[in-house]
């Protein structure tokens, strides 16, 4: 069987919920997808995460694959490219937002007694909602914010890329913010 036919058959099987087919397709195409993503995001950590998202998208959308519109390899390259571009756009927008928020959030100093009381209350609230995080997110947040490690130090401690740490912490802070809003003041 030709490689293109095998890939198309694997995608059809994935569309029917065949996990073994996904594992086989991943084994056959992971380097192709990773290289396509890395060419766009230019960061190994982000490329690894984005490649995982590509295969998650393959799992979710394989039933809609139409080989009359192109080969399975072309479809994968397209998915990889789109996911990579989305990641770059998201990271840029997030960085721009974080910078703008930091500039706009400047407040003059306040009474230190009130500030200390509020900080202790916030810490108690944060500790309560830390349970909404995944273990990896929680570990990254605790190392960065409770132990005061820098992102490179957290990355070295966990044995991952700095971009992976940034991504985990950003996702964790979003989840914490949502949970804190639900807890209330």
- In the chain, the domains with their CATH numbers are 3-90 (1.10.1740.10), 110-183 (1.10.10.10)
CA–CA separation, 124 and 41 (whole Å): 38
- Whether the pLDDT of residue 106 is over 80: the answer is no
Would you say how long the chain is, in residues? 185
Higher local confidence (pLDDT), 97 or 168: 168
pLDDT of residue 102: 59
CB 77 within 8 A of CB 32: yes
The Cα 163–Cα 107 span in angstroms is: 30
| Phi/psi at 109 (5° precision) | -60, 150
Query: What distance in Å separates the CA atoms of residue 87 and residue 37, rounded to the nearest whole number?
Result: 10
* Tokens found for residue 159: 């044995």
Tokens 């509020």, residue? 118
What's the rounded Cα separation, in Å, for the pair 80 and 138? 29
- Of the pLDDT bands very low, low, confident and very high (cuts 50, 70, 90), residue 137 is confident
Q: Do 72 and 11 meet the contact criterion of CB atoms below 8 Å apart? A: yes
Q: CB under 8 Å to 9, separation ≥6 — which residues? A: 1, 21
User: pTM for the whole thing?
Assistant: 0.53
What is the C-alpha separation between 48 and 50, in angstroms, rounded?
6
């Amino acid at each position: 069987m030709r490689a293109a036919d095998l890939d198309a058959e694997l995608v059809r099987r994935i569309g029917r919920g065949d996990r073994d087919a996904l594992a086989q397709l991943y084994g056959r195409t992971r380097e192709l997808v990773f290289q396509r993503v890395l060419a766009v995001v230019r960061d190994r950590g982000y490329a690894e995460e984005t490649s995982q998202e590509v295969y998650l998208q393959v799992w979710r959308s394989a039933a809609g694959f139409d080989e009359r519109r192109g080969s399975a390899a072309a479809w994968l390259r397209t998915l990889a490219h789109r996911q990579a571009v989305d990641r770059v756009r998201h990271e840029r927008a997030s960085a721009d937002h974080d910078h703008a928020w930091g500039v706009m959030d400047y407040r003059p100093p306040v009474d230190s007694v009130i500030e200390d009381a509020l900080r202790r209350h916030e810490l108690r609230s944060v500790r309560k909602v830390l349970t909404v995080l995944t273990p990896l997110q929680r570990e990254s947040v605790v190392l960065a914010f409770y132990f005061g490690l820098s992102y490179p130090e957290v990355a070295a401690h966990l044995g991952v890329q700095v971009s992976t740490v940034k991504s985990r912490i950003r996702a964790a802070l979003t989840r914490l913010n949502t949970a804190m809003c639900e807890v209330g003041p």
